[in-house]
Structure 1
Amino acid sequence: MSDKLLYKDESYFVIGLCMDVHNELGKGFSESVYADALEIELGINGVPYQKEVNYRINYKGKVLKHHYYADFVIDNKIILELKAIEKIASGHVK
């Protein structure tokens, strides 16, 4: 999978920040708690980001009623979805 990453260095750096959050807080919190902590890490490390970005979805020329909400968009390049789960399944990776 790592061969297919468009922004490999940036992705690994952000994953490292996520691991820092996990190592500090441990498991058992909601996604919103981890998001708040990650927002602090991104700020401390000077990583440009947007939180809770809303995307309209177009289907066959029509805008759908429901939107896609990205937890974070890192440097206008990487969409980051947080998951507070026991184990990552293949369906979580996009």
Structure 2
Amino acid sequence: MNYNKITENIIGAAIEVHKALGPGLLESAYQKCLFYELDSLGYSIKKEITLPITYKQLTLDHGYRIDLLVENKIVIELKNVEKFTDVHTAQILTYMKLGNYPIGLLFNFNTKLLKNGIKRFINTSE
């Protein structure tokens, strides 16, 4: 699987959504529009995936929720915040680690230009 080409297409689709809608909407609006764009490109996409986590003998049914998962490999986390924080980075890295996903993309749609609100992550623990 060519992750660079897929992430390039995902970023292009996100930029297209941002150009059309601009900043300031709910994350769910961007999620639905990005899902639409990626689906039209022929990608397999799942949204709002909840997965269980286990802590010692305790299993939590909904330990985390991924905004979008593309081709069962690339985690997409959408934000609409003033700026990214360490918590946002930790969140996507945790999702990638727990699901053993190789690539993550973090988008902040609350920017004038989306290219300034994109972070790409690689799971080095895979």
* TM-score over 0.5 for the pair: yes
Distance between the aligned counterparts of 1:7 and 1:51, measured in 2? Answer: 19
How far is 1:46 from its partner?
A: 1.0
% identity of equivalent residues: 37
User: Partner of 1:19: helix, strand, or coil?
Assistant: helix
1:68-83 equivalence runs, <5 A: 68-83=64-79
1:14 aligns with 2:10: yes
1:49-68 equivalence runs, <5 A: 49-64=45-60, 66-68=62-64
- Of the three residues 47, 72, 78, the one matched with 2:43 is 47
Q: What's 2:111 paired with?
A: none
User: Partner of 1:16: helix, strand, or coil?
Assistant: helix
Conserved 8 A contact 2:67-2:76: yes
Structure 2 gap ranges (5+): 94-126
How far is 1:52 from its partner?
A: 1.0
Distance between the aligned counterparts of 2:66 and 2:42, measured in 1? Answer: 20
The letter for the 1-side match of 2:39 is G
User: Partner of 1:29: helix, strand, or coil?
Assistant: coil
Cα RMSD, aligned residues only? 2.0
Conserved 8 A contact 2:31-2:78: yes
Distance between the aligned counterparts of 1:60 and 1:7, measured in 2? Answer: 34
How far is 1:84 from its partner?
A: 1.2
In terms of fraction of residues, the more strand-rich structure is: 2
Aligned length, in residue pairs: 89
